[in-house]
Amino acid sequence: MGNADRGWGVLDLTLAERRDAERGVEVKKVAVHGAATVRFEHRHGETRLATLYHHDPLRVLLPTPRRGDLPVAVLATTSGGMVGGDRMDIDLSVGPGARALVTTQAAEKVYRSTGADCRIDTRVAVEPGGWLEWLPQEAIVFEGSRLRRLTRLELSGDARLIAGEMLVFGRAAFGETVTHGLIRDAWEVTRDSRLVWADALHLDGAVEEALQHPAGFAGAAACATLLHAAPDAADRLDGLRALADSMESDARVGATAFDGLLVIRILGGDARAVRRAYATLWSGLRAAAAGLPTRLPRLWEV
């Protein structure tokens, strides 16, 4: 972003500021409040973009979809990462009969905070007969970072979706482990305004014990949650478990189904193994549930 953008009170991290944030040095920076709204609707026999709004540092890109696949929207963060006080509000929806996929351009970095929390609030709404995939790339939480993330999934009638989130604890390539900070990662799923499932991971303060304890995360480098909501979601459970068993992966996978919701958890000591398992299960699930190609968006292959 150029200097003109700075006049609006939204400051990107410069290269020097980003290096300071990575080292845990306090960065004097105006907190940013990014926002994005994307809506697809079924018109004239096809899914078309109906609403598009974005506010820095969030940007929405609309790449050409692959042949035979869904329309795609890509969220990009131009600020280089999130520091204390930053907030992102994301609103995604598809109308009746519309089908689309939304992902992110890259991993989200959550830098060390001097006290304030980073917030990511995402609302995903799917109307009757609609299908939406919300599969952002991983969020990397740095030592001392403070992240509050809430994802709300709102379904109506026979709407269907796949949604997921992945967390990476520290930067393994730099030998970093996460010992202190805040990680709150919450989900709410409703259908026809009735609460189906609510879940929250909450680690605050000295988080190292929970991340290392055998009854906790057992030293995992990353974890992921993958959800499939549909009236027949339970029918996918056996196939999903068979696919998980067939993977040559060090990541551990658990799955259960109830009340029109399939919940998959992935945990592993290698973030790359968790990402590969997450991607394999997602691509297999979209093929089984919606007859879509067993492939990922191009950005996931970079």
CA distance 162 to 130: 12
Give pLDDT, residue 17: 54
Could you tell me where the beta strands, DSSP code E, fall in the chain? 33-43, 46-55, 58-61, 72-77, 87-94, 99-104, 108-110, 118-126, 131-135, 139-141, 146-155, 160-169, 180-191, 194-206, 222-229, 252-258, 261-268
pLDDT on residue 97: 98
* Residues present in the chain in total: 302
- Could you tell me the two tokens for 172? 């393994």
User: What is the pLDDT at residue 10?
Assistant: 33
Per-residue pLDDT of the chain (302 residues; tens, 9 = 90+): 333 333 333 334 555 555 555 555 555 567 899 999 999 999 999 999 999 999 999 999 999 988 888 999 999 999 889 999 999 999 999 999 999 999 999 999 999 998 899 999 999 999 999 999 999 999 999 999 999 999 999 999 999 999 999 999 999 888 888 999 999 999 999 999 999 999 999 999 999 999 999 999 999 999 999 999 999 999 999 999 999 999 988 899 999 999 999 999 999 999 999 999 999 999 999 999 999 999 888 888 76
What pLDDT was estimated at residue 16? 52
pLDDT of residue 1: 32
**Diameter of the chain by CA atoms?**
56
> CA 185: distance to chain centroid?
10
Q: Identity (one letter) of the amino acid at 280?
A: T
The pLDDT, as a whole number, for residue 2 is: 35
For 192, left (φ over 0), alpha (ψ -120 to 50), or beta? left
Inter-CA distances, 279 with 80, 155, 229, Å: 24, 23, 17
**Cα distances (Å, whole numbers) of residue 50 to 42, 44, 95, 167, 275:** 9, 13, 9, 31, 32
- What residues contact residue 19 under an 8 Å CB cut-off, 6+ apart? none
Per the listing, tokens 């799917």 go with: 126
Instruction: Domain ranges for the chain, please list them.
Output: 3-219
Residues 127 and 157: beta-carbon distance below 8 Å: yes
67 has which bridge partners?
none
Determine the Cα–Cα distance for residues 74 and 58; give it in Å rounded to an integer. 10
